[in-house]
Amino acid sequence: MNLILALIVLTIVILVHEFGHFIVCKLSGVLVEEFAIGFGPKLFSIKGKETEYSVRAFLIGGYVKPLGEDQEVDHPRALNNAKVYKRILMVLMGPVMNFVLAIIIMMGIGYFIGFGTNIIGKVEPNMPAYEAGIRSGDRIVALDKNRVYVWDQVSFYLAVHNMLYKDREVEIKVLRDGKQYTFRVMPKYDPNTKTKRIGVSSKISRKNLFDSIYYGIFGTYAEIKETIYSVVLMITGKVSGSEIMGPVGMVKTIGEAANAGFKQSVLSGLLNVLWLMQLISVNLGVINLIPFPALDGSRLVFYLYEAVARKPFNREKEALIHTIGFVLLLFLLVIVTFNDIKNIIMPGR
């Protein structure tokens, strides 16, 4: 059951991503030879009017194969003959569709279940926020000059702040009765939660269409920023690379979230799965924009070079770079899969 749920989630996220590439190719008149879900040996395929739709053995990933993607092809509908702005749009639309999927899911969750606004609902007495002068009804607009739109940003920022800094105050800007106030708050260790806290909770919005649209857009924006920041923390060594999750870890996490929810109700289980789906979708969109060979971000760099230099990068060299990148990604996949298995067998080590 866990494996089936995970495959459904990953397949939907990948389908949405690849559809973004596919639809721009179609609208631009580019001939698409294959639309594939997964990699490796072909399990089955359906031949359309001009595109082959296939499902392959390893359902982690997928691709759209336009004619002339990595080589010069003398065909009027080859990708290499399309205007460079169309190719840039084709690359960008995959990640953009992932962000759109996340926005739609978060809008639904925000409307039916509710979400934390950036308005403080409760301030605990004798906690740092109360002692600093923060009160219920204050709207948090910035944390250390970082703009705040939804409560998810407050939780994430305070968690990262506590991880990076042992004894450092947080500058909190709030709106109260139309006026802006600034407070400096030192997080306090709570033995009950075993974390540092400032003692505030959010006002929840529920069944409000405009609020849920706001949450879908700005909640997704916040997660994009958080994902980028997490990648930066990992690259700079401030977060362990062992925390990267691979396909096995995703299956485990999705299964655990679903099981925990299903113990309460079917709706809770589905909501947990949807929440993870939008999180994976945002991460896939952001990671694909990294300028690493074989990822969308790398192709975007080559197309931007062509737009500025007014000539394409050497196609053979570009194809070689993408091939090397693909091999490195497969190697990374093996490493993170091994790490996932290790964490399952020996958790906490």
Render pLDDT for 313-342 as a digit per residue (tens, 0 to 9).
888 888 888 888 888 877 776 776 666 555
Give the per-residue pLDDT at 217. Answer: 96
pLDDT above 70 for 5: yes
Q: Catalytic site residues?
A: 18
Query: DSSP state, 156?
Result: H
Q: Is 347 exposed, middle or buried (0-12, 13-18, 19+ CB in 10 A)?
A: exposed
Query: CA Rg, the chain, in Å?
Result: 23
Query: Model confidence at 130, in pLDDT bands (50, 70, 90)?
Result: very high
Give the residue from 122, 184, 191, 195 showing the smallest Cα distance to 159: 195
* Displacement of CA 101 from its chain's centroid (Å): 10
Q: How confident is the model at residue 244 (pLDDT cuts 50, 70, 90)?
A: low
Please report, for residues 131, 245, 301, the alpha-carbon distance to residue 21 in angstroms, rounded to integers and kept in the order given: 53, 25, 16
Count of alpha carbons within 13 Å of 263, Cβ hemisphere only? 5
57/317 Cα distance (integer angstroms): 29
- Residue ranges of alpha helices (H) inside 141-187 are 151-164
Lowest model confidence (mean pLDDT) among 55-59, 153-157, 162-166, 341-345: 341-345
Residue 100: pLDDT band by 50, 70, 90 thresholds?
very high
Distance (Å, rounded) from C-alpha 283 to C-alpha 231?
10
Q: How many residues does the chain have?
A: 349
Q: Summarize the confidence of residues 291-305 as an average pLDDT.
A: 91
pLDDT digits (tens, 9 = 90+) for 132-151: 999 999 999 999 989 999 99
Residue type, 127: M
Asked whether residue 268 carries a pLDDT value surpassing 80, the answer given is no
